[in-house]
Amino acid sequence: RARLYNDGLAALIARHRGRLFGLGCVDPWDGEGAARELERMVHELGFAGALVNPSDGRRYLDDPACAPLLATAERLGRPLFVHPTRDLPANEHWRDFVLSLMVGRPTQTAVCAARLIFTGALDRYPRLNLLLAHGGGVLPFVAGRLDATWVAYRPERWHGPDVLGMEPSSYLRRFHVDTNVWSVPALRLLLEVLGPERLVVGNDQPPVWAPLEDALALLVGLELGEKDREAVLWRNAARLFRLERLE
């Protein structure tokens, strides 16, 4: 199904060459199959990277099955856009009030990113570029808790590998995040925690209702200087996706 989608997307982009740039889809837990499809997407279809889910409902991107894809993305210098899915743990807790959309999915993204930090995956793939949807979920807000718990709970109350040589929050600037958070205060937090060079304009249209002009209006509220404004609006994306013709 991923190949079918990617071929269809490539045909659409070809009809609007120079206006559209694509991210293909792969199943990260398909091992070598995912790595081969990423190679095909980049070399044959000309895609800028790939969109992946943070979890399949049981595993996250730190799972050994994802290692071939992560290694290939690093080698090719192509980013993975991590966007949450409907496969949430304890799914029955998220049904009321659309909590799955408001809270569940941003949490799923944050869990995935935190696991990539704590398992040492970001150290194993030091040049891997990852773009997290929705401002990185809840992760930037809990940066201090990452460090404080990492210090206080090791080693007696620590579960999982203990492989980090520096505070976990120091890894947060390894990620790019989109600006799709619908809040000026949240955007200011992202600027403080990650820096303007890690933000990329994001919007949920389609399929969600938020118009692009509303997303851009929030950036105006940040009152960025010209250099930072250009970086967030397009230069960061041009660099991340290797769109040299725009730079």
**Model confidence over 120-155: pLDDT tens digits?**
999 999 999 999 999 999 999 999 999 999 999 999
> Is cis: bond before 207, omega within 30 of 0?
yes
- Rounded CA-CA distance 74/68 in Å is 10
- Rounded CA-CA distance 181/136 in Å is 9
Region 75-92: what's the mean pLDDT?
88
- DSSP state letters, 124-175: HSTT--EEESGGGTTGGGGHHHHHHHHHHHTTTT--S----SS-GGGGGGGE
Task: Flag whether pLDDT at 246 surpasses 60.
Answer: no
* pLDDT tens for each residue of 15-41: 998 889 999 999 999 999 999 999 999
Task: Flag whether pLDDT at 90 surpasses 70.
Answer: no
Region 225-237: what's the mean pLDDT?
95
- Residue 245 has a pLDDT of 59
Closest by alpha carbon to 135, among 219, 24, 29?
219
Global confidence as pTM = 0.95
Q: What percent of the chain has pLDDT over 90?
A: 80
- Residue 203 has a pLDDT of 87
